[in-house]
Chains A and B, each alone.
Chain A
Amino acid sequence: MQLTSIIANMIGTIAVINLIGVIIQGSKQLSVIRGDGNRTRQIIALGIIGGLFGIYATISGFRMSNGIVIAVRDVGPMMAGCLGGPISGLIAGMIAAIHRLIVGMPDITTGTTIPCCIATLLIGLLCGQLYIKFKAKEKRVLWAILIATEMELMHLVLVFIYTWLMSGFNASVVLIIQIAPPFLITNGIAFGLLAYVLDMVEKYKSVERQEKQVETELNIAKNIQKDMLPSIFPNFARRKEFSIDASMKPAKEIGGDFYDFFFIDEDHFAFLIADVSGKGVPAALFMVISKTIIKNNVSSFANLSEAIKKSNIQLCEGNKSGTFVTAWIGVYEISSGLLTYVNAGHNPPLIKRNGKPFEYLRNLSGFFLAGSTKTEYKQYQTHLNAGDRIFLYTDGITEAMNNNEEQYGEDRLLNCFSGQYRDKTVTEIIEVITDNVLKFADGAEQFDDMTMLALMISGEYETITVDATLDNFDTVSVFLTNTLKKHNIDTDLINKMNLVLDELFSNVVNYSKSKDYKLGVSICADRISMKMIYGGELYDITKVKDPDITLAAKDRPVGGLGLLIVKKTMDKVDYTQEDGLNVITLSKKIGI
């Protein structure tokens, strides 16, 4: 009966020791007390803590009816020794023993003070010897119980010998029989439990360490991902033909947005934006492979839709996770201003052409990438001329949420480009949109990557519009000559451009039935660009077959020579239809 009540009474003390152990080992703020990272401080700290444990245990011991106090004092030196080594054990043992000596001073000869003091000191030292072995164990509870009972057995032996010497054999046996069970059980429980909670703290700490490591690695991955995106400087900063800017603002979690731009050859510039479905590491990995595959194919195929078709097939291969990619890919031909693009399920870009306001370019070429191997991708074409701009973005922009769970949306985005903002440069565009979206979100958490890319064609076209009659040729010709002279183009080249104008203007007047004729001239970098817009019959002049110029004079056709001259004089001649009008764009490198 007495045994159970002893244990019941002692549980409180044991619990307190455990609690302090957890707090000291587990708390981040107490790392100084623990002496983290400094072995000497750690040894001393453990020694003192163990000693204080011992003092507390002595004070809160249970006094049995025969006056003997059952205490778990030795747990302090045990802990200090096992966790901190011999010196910690010695310090803890000394502190606890000295305190025990002071407490037991009044009846030093009759009580068990002397053997108890010696035992406590010895336990500290002995446990210090077990330090390395104990540290290496994984499940330390059983070991702790074993150590505690062994140590207390030694303690009991000392008490037995001392009592025998002082009070005789019989009295000694009676005493040991009385105190041995509670002594062994309480100390076993106390140190076992302490080992258990310390194990748990260790475990949580290592989980925390692992989490931290994963977080660090993810951050590294995020940076690698970011570094994979091309930078504007120094490669593209000084391009005269166009300016480009892009930004990616990743959400907290690593994601799959990316943009890319690169020269396929001297005359063809590819730029694209894409969004891989999902988040986290899977999306990031898919982003890397998507970027590589798209760049490889766009660089090696002459035809953009073929390049995207091939990319899609490659991305479908082995894609069992159901990940998919939406992408908008454009290839800009600098000499002609022709933009060829494919939209694989991506958000419609905003485009500003011919001095008109920004509008959404909603052509869709096909299903998103990595969805189905059978998808065909239709390519579209439009012209980007001097001053034109195009803005690509991912759904992180349009689907940005505010605190009222409202989405930013396409209308708000379009509004950013109206009024005072319509003539912003690429860098300003990115800034304005970023600001506007952040202002809208008003502190709400960003859930998705926000990625943008803006491209603007440099220079401005000077234009003239006349009625399409032969009489107006002089007016147009004078305009062209003056514009070219302003840019110091030499007479020979001016004559050539006038020749080209002559051929095409007369064609418009004679065959197209157009009421008017618009000519745009732009000189940018080392290139003269001309653009002619007229109505009437839609007819692709580039499809006209070249005449045979080897026939005998009397058999020679007269038609077709003009277009032959145009094609041979200019570096590039392109024909498109825009808004029901014929558009011819021509370009010629200056100096060749």
Chain B
Amino acid sequence: MDKKGDILEVQVIGSLNTQTAPQLETVLADVEDGVENIILDLAALDYISSAGLRVILVTYNKMESVDGKLVIKNAQPGVVEIFDMTGFSSILTLE
């Protein structure tokens, strides 16, 4: 986790599944007010399950409500595939 002004960058390593998604949710829920942009670096993410998608959706909606932005970067092909599959690609900003 790396915070620079109003931008928060989070590296997600391993897999975002039933067991690990709640951890990310806790981390992101504790983000202080004033953070307007969250960047999730998924370079080291093996796979994401629906539990992880839920966290991303919740975070996305939260950022929208404060006119902030959620950016996903370095998503691996397998993860992008899941985003495409579930329609997340149409709402997320992928870099």
Contacts and interface: CB of A to CB of B under 8 A. Distances in A.
Contacts of A503: 49-50
B38 to A, nearest CB: 14
Interface string A548-579: 01101110101001101100110000000000
B64 A554 contact: yes
B64 to A, nearest CB: 7
B51 A502 contact: yes
A561 B19 contact: no
Nearest to A559: B50
A505 interface: yes
Interface string A500-519: 00110110010000000000
A473 B20 CA distance: 11
A561 B86 contact: yes
Given A470-B18, A473-B19, A502-B18, A554 B61 contact: yes
B19 A565 contact: no
Nearest to B89: A549
B49 A562 contact: yes
A470 to B, nearest CB: 6
A549 B85 CA distance: 9
Nearest to B45: A495
A499 B82 contact: yes
Interface residues of A, number: 27
A470 B19 contact: yes
For the complex, would chain A's binding face be called helix, strand, loop or mixed by DSSP majority? helix
B37 interface: no
A249 interface: no
B78 A492 contact: yes
Nearest to A474: B19
Interface string B37-66: 000000000111111011001001100100
B6 to A, nearest CB: 21
A496 interface: yes
Contact of A568 (B18, B47, B78, B85): B85
Interface string B71-95: 0000001100010011110110000
A554 B61 CA distance: 6
Interface string A462-475: 00000000100110
Interface residues of B, number: 25
A60 interface: no
Contact of B57 (A474, A550, A558, A565): A558
B34 to A, nearest CB: 22
Contacts of A558: 50, 53-54, 57
A554 to B, nearest CB: 5
A498 interface: yes
B47 A499 contact: yes
A505 B64 CA distance: 32
A502 B14 CA distance: 14
Contacts of B88: 549
B51 to A, nearest CB: 7
B85 A564 contact: yes
Contacts of A553: 57, 60-61, 64, 91
B22 to A, nearest CB: 10
B86 A565 contact: yes
Nearest to A563: B50
A498 B57 contact: no
Nearest to A509: B18
A473 B19 CA distance: 8
Contacts of B46: 491, 495, 498
A474 B19 CA distance: 8
Contact of A473 (B17, B60, B77): B17
Closest 10 A-B residue pairs measured CB to CB? A549-B87, A562-B50, A506-B18, A502-B49, A561-B50, A495-B47, A502-B17, A553-B91, A499-B47, A558-B54
Given A502-B51, A549-B86, 15 more contacts: A474-B19, A495-B15, A498-B46, A498-B47, A506-B49, A549-B88, A550-B87, A553-B61, A554-B64, A558-B53, A558-B54, A561-B86, A562-B51, A568-B85, A569-B85
28 contacts: A470-B18, A473-B17, A473-B18, A473-B19, A491-B46, A495-B15, A495-B46, A498-B46, A499-B17, A499-B48, A502-B17, A503-B49, A506-B18, A506-B51, A549-B86, A549-B87, A550-B90, A553-B61, A554-B61, A558-B50, A561-B50, A561-B53, A561-B54, A562-B51, A564-B85, A565-B49, A565-B82, A569-B85
